[in-house]
């Protein structure tokens, strides 16, 4: 399991727009670089990120080699109901990770 950081408020008023920052430890190897032995390092990327909240994907992203290592993704969502936000990262070599964060809506 890669280390993932999710920064967002724990509580919000209904209708408020909250900012969510996600960071995950991942090399994002482009497949264009050569190692010390001169061989091309095999591509190893996170290809897709999605945030699910209140039974719906509220935000998603397609990542390409030009995204820096340890991808940071900052986005927003509108607080609707108290519940869990589910974050998923999927990529090469069967990489898949899911994290959840609770949001209390008042």
Partner 1 sequence: MSASASRRPLREAPMRIARRSVLAAGTLCLLSVRPSRADAPPELEAAIRAFAEGKPVQSGRVTLEVAPLVENGNAVPIAVAVQSPMSDGDHVRQIAVYNEKNPQRDVVVFNLGPRAGRARVATRIRLATSQRLVALARLSDGSVWQHSVDVIVTLAACVES
CB of 63 to partner 1, least distance (A): 6
Does 36 sit near partner 1 (CB under 8 A)? no
Q: How far is the CB of 33 from partner 1 (least distance, A)?
A: 6
- Using alpha carbons, select from 47, 29, 33 the residue that is nearest to residue 96: 47
State the Cα–Cα distance between residues 25 and 46, nearest whole angstrom.
Answer: 10
Cα 89 off chain centre by:
5
Stretch that binds partner 1, among 2-10, 29-37, 83-91, 93-101 (CB under 8 A): 29-37
Q: Is 58 in the site for partner 1 (CB under 8 A)?
A: yes
Residue 10 in the binding site for partner 1 (CB under 8 A): no
Site for partner 1 in 60-89 (CB under 8 A): 60-69, 71-78, 80
DSSP one-letter code for 94: T
Q: Round the CA-based radius of gyration of the chain to a whole number and report it.
A: 16
3-state SS class at 85: strand
Task: Report the interface residues with partner 1, using CB under 8 A.
Answer: 17-19, 30, 32-34, 53-54, 56-69, 71-78, 80
């Amino acid at each position: 399991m890669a280390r993932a950081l999710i920064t967002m408020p724990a509580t919000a008023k209904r209708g408020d727009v909250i900012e969510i920052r996600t960071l995950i430890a991942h090399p994002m190897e482009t497949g264009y670089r050569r190692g010390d032995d001169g061989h091309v390092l095999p591509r190893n990327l996170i290809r897709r990120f999605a945030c699910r909240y209140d039974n719906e994907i509220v935000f998603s992203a397609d990542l390409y080699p030009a995204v820096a290592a340890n991808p940071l993704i900052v986005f927003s969502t509108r607080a609707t109901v108290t519940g869990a936000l589910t974050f998923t990262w999927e990529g090469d070599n069967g990489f898949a990770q899911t994290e959840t964060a609770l949001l209390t809506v008042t």
